[in-house]
A and B are shown apart, each in its own frame.
Chain A
């Protein structure tokens, strides 16, 4: 029997440089770059977790967030959102909270899963931590978010994060769209010319 993979749109949000792309690179390709370039342009990844019957379509911001110009279309139809902040950067935590608010205000899907991720936890040992874990955990619990501290660099909690999101997806993830949609890229259907009677 062939297992049906449920396609789920997952969006990344968070301050520039918080490590959104690095987390996805780690998850999708098992790679990490010390000099990961700021994301402009190409920004779409897919990754299946067959054991969980999920295929994630992961959207990165394509740099539109840079000047606070992310289009709401970006999170339209999302099943899950990962909101990333940098544990060494308090401003990025504030920005993350704003993203959570914006998601709650704009996303119609009542089952949207939001995961809050404190990235770069590898730097915490060097005393660079600025956002206490307890603060973030409390905020996440109060707001109903999944919460992880992670490191794309040392591969801490990355697989766990995506696994947990996959587990929380509604099982029979019914298509959210009303039926009757049209695939525009389809070639025109050659219609048999009905004979006219005159």
Chain B
């Protein structure tokens, strides 16, 4: 380990592994270290024994739950937008060859105490029970506008300047009512609160387009989401392999690893077990940089093992339900996420459901009640409250590039944007996803 590297990456969470993979592909000499003896950090998927070890130390899982190894329970469950940036990174790096994905069955929204399918297109709007007859027609026109909107083609703009017009004003142009706006803003554009209403409409229209384009990305999708077989824990491992294939060095189980700073305060390397490795810069998750991050909030998550799909989701084996804040008199949405043996994350006929939100009160577990109520009978439930951190600085001065903690959302769009941003801060250039992908540069045959 007494060696010099271009980059040292600390923690093998998804964000760190993507960065490590991208830097290795760029030709940098990378050393990647984790204090744990497993891959994934916060983005690991646990088997049943590991789950009990973490939440019920000393207790054995009951036999009815089936074999431990058939479980791959995410610590931070999230779905992937089929046309989002994570998929573009996966395809660009050809990491897809290590992974298998399946569609997520359904995307639902909680509305007036009922769970309804999220309509995402003009024709779906016309069938949706979420809206009355006239509202359906207004919503269909709105969707049709968003689907066709093209930043580069003024003919699609209708003389509106979406970089100036607020989203509130755009909704007003279509005369949409509050309930419709609620599911569009939260279940389609995936905003976590209503601050977006007073911001320029452009980014929200693009988010609605992303949802629509994701639905259309692969044939037969019934939601815009996909999810890997065996759980999200596969993703960091796949990017780690990419990094290793391009020469990255991997060391797990280094519990004492610490960042070393030079006299000017810039990170210069890491130490572990009396050895020091040097690097031009260090990348890592907030747990490796306690004094360089601040807590921005807390996320509460319940992980539930069940023997049935979530009621009122048409027996979907994988599903997301968004409970918009307004419906619950909250400031943040509640997210429900469910997947099952069809994604190889549980034994036959078992389902894993998660309920999560951003903590607003002194009794976080109680805040999950509206989501938990939707699940029906639960075989086992584990609740966890985790702090979310973000870096104090952007890393360019102190050569410590730190990722943000994982938020409460049940999709990856915010996380992948953090990765792309880090990549740009580190290398000084944006990741060129348009460049021909790496499939041409195969591993040797």
State whether A185 touches B140 (Cβ < 8 A): no
The answer to whether the Cβ of B247 comes within 8 Å of any Cβ in the partner chain is: yes
Contact B445 A45 (CB under 8 A): yes
Indicate if the CB atoms of A185 and B230 lie closer than 8 Å: no
Q: Which residues of B contact A2 (CB under 8 A)?
A: none
Residues of B within 8 A of A186 (CB): 218
CB pair A72 B137 closer than 8 Å = no
Q: Within 8 Å CB of A183, what residues of B?
A: 96
Q: Is A5 an interface residue (CB 8 A)?
A: no
Smallest beta-carbon distance B48→chain A, Å: 13
> Are B444 and A44 neighbours in the complex by a CB distance under 8 Å?
yes
A-chain residues with CB within 8 Å of residue B122 when the two chains form the complex: 194, 196, 198
Q: Which residue of B lies closest to A193 (CB)?
A: B147
Q: Verify if B424 is at the interface (C-beta below 8 Å from A).
A: no
User: Is B144 a contact partner of A196 (Cβ separation < 8 A)?
Assistant: yes
Is A127 an interface residue when CB atoms closer than 8 A count as contact?
Answer: no
Q: List B contacts of A138 (CB < 8 A).
A: none
Q: Which of A18-68 contact B (CB under 8 A)?
A: 40-46, 62-64, 66-68
Given the known interface contacts A73-B98, A186-B218, the answer about A194 and B123 at a Cβ–Cβ threshold of 8 Å is yes
Shortest A79–chain B CB gap in Å is: 15
A189 close to B (CB within 8 Å): yes
B208 contacts A by Cβ under 8 Å: no
Taken together as a complex, chains A and B put the C-alpha atoms of A106 and B141 apart, in Å, by 52
Alpha-carbon distance between A11 and B245 when the two chains are bound, in angstroms = 15
Evaluate whether A76 and B234 lie within 8 angstroms (CB atoms) in the complex, with A42-B245, A71-B240 already known: yes
Residues of B within 8 Å of A181, CB to CB, are 100-102, 229
B295 contacts the other chain (Cβ, under 8 Å)? Answer: no
Chain A 151-164, CB-CB to B under 8 Å as 1, else 0, gives 00000000000000
Looking at chain A's contact residues, the main secondary structure is: loop
A184 within 8 Å of B by Cβ? yes
Smallest CB-CB separation from B439: which chain A residue?
Answer: A185
Rounded to whole angstroms, the CA-CA distance of A68 and B253 in the bound complex is 9
Q: How far is the CA of A42 from the CA of B245 in the complex (A)?
A: 5
Q: Are B218 and A180 touching (Cβ within 8 A)?
A: no
Q: Does B386 contact A (CB under 8 A)?
A: no
Q: How far is the CA of A73 from the CA of B141 in the complex (A)?
A: 46
A74 at the interface (CB under 8 A from B): yes
| Residues of the A chain whose Cβ atoms lie less than 8 Å from the Cβ of B246 | 41
Neighbouring B residues of A46 by C-beta, 8 Å: 445
Name the distance in Å between B85's Cβ and chain A's nearest Cβ. Answer: 13
Per-position 1/0 for B410-445, Cβ under 8 A of A:
000000000000000000000000000001001111
Point out the residue from B123, B237, B245 that lies within 8 Å of A73, measured CB to CB.
Answer: B237
Cα distance, A178 to B339, chains bound together (Å): 14
Query: Chain B, 88-124, contact with A by CB distance < 8 Å: what is the 0/1 string?
Result: 0011001011111111000000000000000001110
Q: Which residues of B contact A105 (CB under 8 A)?
A: 69
Q: Would you call A188 and B241 a contact (CB within 8 A)?
A: no
A98 to chain B, nearest CB (A): 14
Contacts of A177 in B (CB 8 A): 100, 229
The answer to whether B103 and A182 touch across the interface, beta carbons within 8 angstroms, is: yes
Q: Verify if A191 is at the interface (C-beta below 8 Å from B).
A: yes
- Least CB distance from B228 to A in Å reads 10
Judged by a CB distance under 8 angstroms, whether B389 is at the interface is no
A4 at interface by CB-CB < 8 Å: no
CB of B176 closer than 8 Å to a CB of A = no
> Is A182 a contact of B250 with CB atoms below 8 Å?
no
Instruction: Give the total of A residues in contact with B, Cβ under 8 Å.
Output: 39
The answer to whether B102 touches A178 (Cβ under 8 A) is yes
Q: How far is the CA of A185 from the CA of B141 in the complex (A)?
A: 33
Instruction: Please determine whether A182 and B226 come into contact, CB atoms closer than 8 angstroms.
Output: yes
Q: What's the least CB distance linking B366 to chain A, in Å?
A: 36
Write the A106-122 contact mask toward B (1 if CB under 8 angstroms, else 0).
Answer: 10100000000000000
Would you call B169 an interface residue if the criterion is a C-beta within 8 Å of the partner chain's C-beta atoms?
no
Q: How far is the CA of A198 from the CA of B143 in the complex (A)?
A: 11
Interface contact A184-B96, CB-CB below 8 Å = yes
**Is the beta-carbon distance between A185 and B96 smaller than 8 angstroms?**
yes
B96 touches A64 (CB 8 A): no
Contacts A46-B445, A182-B218, A185-B96 known; A69 to B101 CB distance under 8 Å? no
Shortest Cβ gap from A177 to chain B (Å): 6
CA distance A40 to B245 in the complex (A): 7
Q: Give bound CA distance, A66 to B249, whole Å.
A: 9
Which B residue's beta carbon lies closest to that of A189? Answer: B219
| Given A73-B237, A185-B91, A108:B70 Cβ within 8 A | yes
In the complex, what's the smallest C-beta–C-beta distance from A10 to chain B, in angstroms? 15
Residues of A within 8 A of B252 (CB): 67-69
CA distance A181 to B442 in the complex (A): 23
Write out the residue numbers on chain B whose beta carbons fall within 8 Å of the beta carbon of A184: 87, 90-91, 96, 99, 101, 226
Contact present for B245 and A188 (CB under 8 Å): no
Q: Please, what's the 1-or-0 string for B214-244, where 1 marks a CB less than 8 Å from any CB in chain A? A: 0011110000001001100010011011001
Between-chain CB contacts (< 8 Å), 11 pairs:
A44-B442, A68-B253, A77-B100, A108-B70, A108-B344, A181-B229, A182-B103, A184-B90, A194-B121, A197-B126, A198-B144
B interface residue numbers (CB < 8 A to A): 37, 39, 69-70, 83, 87, 90-91, 94, 96-103, 121-123, 126, 137, 140-141, 144, 216-219, 226, 229-230, 234, 237-238, 240-241, 244-247, 249-253, 342, 344, 439, 442-445
Apart from A64-B240, A181-B229, A184-B90: 7 A-B pairs, beta carbons within 8 A: A45-B444, A63-B249, A66-B249, A69-B251, A71-B237, A108-B70, A177-B100
